[in-house]
Amino acid sequence: MPFRKGSATNRGRLISRIALVQKVEWSLVAVRYLACIACGAYAVMDSGPGIVRAVALFCLIALLHNGFVHWVMYRKQYKLFTSLLNFFIYLVFCCVLIGMTGGSASYFAPLLLFVIVGYHIYKPQSGNTLWVTLLVCAAYSFTIVLSWFTTGFNWLHLPVYVNLAFIATSGGVMGVLSQLLYVLEKETQHHAAALESSEETLRAILNHTAHPIVVYDDNELITEVNDSACNFLSMSRLNMIGMRFQSFLFDDGSLGEALLELKQSGSLFQEMLIVPSHGSERAVLMHIHSFLGEKKRFFVALFHDITEQKELNETHRIAKQRLEEANRELHRAAEIRDAFYTSVANQLRSPLAAMLGYIDMLLEEHLGTINPEQREALYSCRRSLHRIFERLDEAFIAYPAEKTDEDAELSEDLGSGI
């Protein structure tokens, strides 16, 4: 992972440097075209043969150089601009221009300083400052010596040594600046890599958090989300960035007051309804905190889905309500049965007691003499009546216990059903 980050960083620096080099090359192309036009106009005004030949040679070299730049731009071989070939082309062009304009007396000698500066702009970390400076000094000296072959040698010509001193000083300064920029760039690279590593670590922590997390600014625009929030809201991270966080919240009339309280207190913890892009409303327990970052106020919203818990609580409440209704119905049925038993018992006891008294009168022969067969039948009837009374008494004794057991069994059945 660090290697890939470093490669991405180096690639980004290379792309930005090539873009800068392209701008510089296009500017120099325009300058050379303007110089050709100006020199052509000057040659027309001063039609001396020497001037015409010099202007023609300069225009030829300038147009060839521009043709090379156009070819590189057309083929998109931008690395040729930062190669030694392009450096030698500029060095030769400047030396020819110096030789054509007087050699040691030329006013174009400072162009060699720009060659050194341009080389360090094109390749700031080459480390070849000493060799480049020596090469430029050697090329300038060779140009001056060649010009002296035609004008005569003048080893004590001071401007030549001044120009060489300026070229050497320029190379030294550019070398120091190059090293300084290299150190600063390395430190910046290190800090950028550390920052990227921290961001990746925080991103991994956020994405491995089970609860959805949304970060938004003071304008309620979403600036960061984790994977759980993307899955919960059924949207991709790129689509969510820049959206209003309030667009996902269901407003039941109290949302505005809650958000206002959040901005005043900096914290909010309450139940809310969230409306995902695809799906039904979800009840969540929202926990929002504010913090300051980059001199701006941000809010971190962490929410926990409690929809299933609320549905379970609602199911339990309905089951409990149904149990209470069943208990009331059972109690009412027990009261009806109790009233029925009481009514039946009261209505049966009176005629049965009358029948028992009448049988006793017959057995005691208050109504006349009875034979043994009749007496035996009356005794059998009286025993049957006594058994009926015993059954009624047993029913009244066993009923309360049976009622309690049935109520408990019904409650257990309903409770297990929940």
Q: What is the DSSP string of 242-290?
A: TSBGGGGB---S-HHHHHHHHHHHSEEEEEEEE--SSS--EEEEEEEEE
Residues 6 or more apart whose CB falls under 8 angstroms from that of 314 comprise none
Domain check: are 68 and 96 in the same one?
Answer: yes
CATH number for the domain including 250? 3.30.450.20
Domain check: are 35 and 184 in the same one?
Answer: yes
Domain check: are 81 and 165 in the same one?
Answer: yes
The residue with greater pLDDT, 223 or 343, is 223
**Does residue 141 lie within any of the structural domains?**
yes
pLDDT at 22: 85
Tens digit of each residue's pLDDT (9 = 90 or more) over 278-334? 767 888 888 888 888 667 888 888 888 887 888 888 888 899 999 999 888 888 888
Domain check: are 189 and 214 in the same one?
Answer: no
**Does residue 113 lie within any of the structural domains?**
yes
Residue with tokens 């290299």: 182
The domain boundary, picked from 158, 174, 202, lies at: 202
The structure's pTM equals 0.45
Give yes or no for residue 268 having a pLDDT over 80.
yes
Per-residue tokens: 112: 């060699």
Closest CA to 245 of 209, 298, 305, 308: 298
Domain check: are 220 and 197 in the same one?
Answer: no
Domain check: are 298 and 330 in the same one?
Answer: no
The domain boundary, picked from 151, 172, 202, lies at: 202
Domain check: are 71 and 182 in the same one?
Answer: yes
Q: Which domain holds residue 394?
A: 318-417
Per-residue tokens: 187: 């430190």
Total domains present in the chain = 3
**Does residue 313 lie within any of the structural domains?**
no
Q: What would you report as the CA-atom Rg of the chain, rounded to the nearest whole angstrom?
A: 54
Domain check: are 181 and 252 in the same one?
Answer: no
**Sorting pLDDT into bands at 50, 70 and 90, what band is 103?**
confident
Residues 6 or more apart whose CB falls under 8 angstroms from that of 327 comprise 407, 410, 411
Q: Among residues of the chain, what percentage have pLDDT more than 70?
A: 84
pLDDT at 4: 38
**Sorting pLDDT into bands at 50, 70 and 90, what band is 11?**
low
**Does residue 312 lie within any of the structural domains?**
no
Give yes or no for residue 391 having a pLDDT over 70.
yes
Q: What is the DSSP string of 43-105?
A: HHHS--HHHHHHHHHHHHHHHHHHHHHHHHHHHT-GGGGGSHHHHHHHHHHHHHHHHHTTGGG
Q: What is the mean pLDDT of residues 145-168?
A: 77
The domain boundary, picked from 305, 334, 361, lies at: 305
Domain check: are 255 and 134 in the same one?
Answer: no
Burial of residue 189, with CB atoms counted within 10 A of its CB: 0-12 exposed, 13-18 middle, 19 or more buried: middle
Domain check: are 289 and 334 in the same one?
Answer: no
**Does residue 310 lie within any of the structural domains?**
no
**Does residue 48 lie within any of the structural domains?**
yes
Domain check: are 194 and 286 in the same one?
Answer: no
Domain check: are 68 and 124 in the same one?
Answer: yes
Tens digit of each residue's pLDDT (9 = 90 or more) over 226-241? 888 888 888 888 888 8
The residue with greater pLDDT, 321 or 98, is 321
**Does residue 261 lie within any of the structural domains?**
yes
CA dist 387 and 206 (Å) reads 84
pLDDT at 397: 63
Task: Give the C-alpha distances (Å, rounded to integers) separating 258 from 227, 251, 269, 282.
Answer: 26, 10, 10, 18
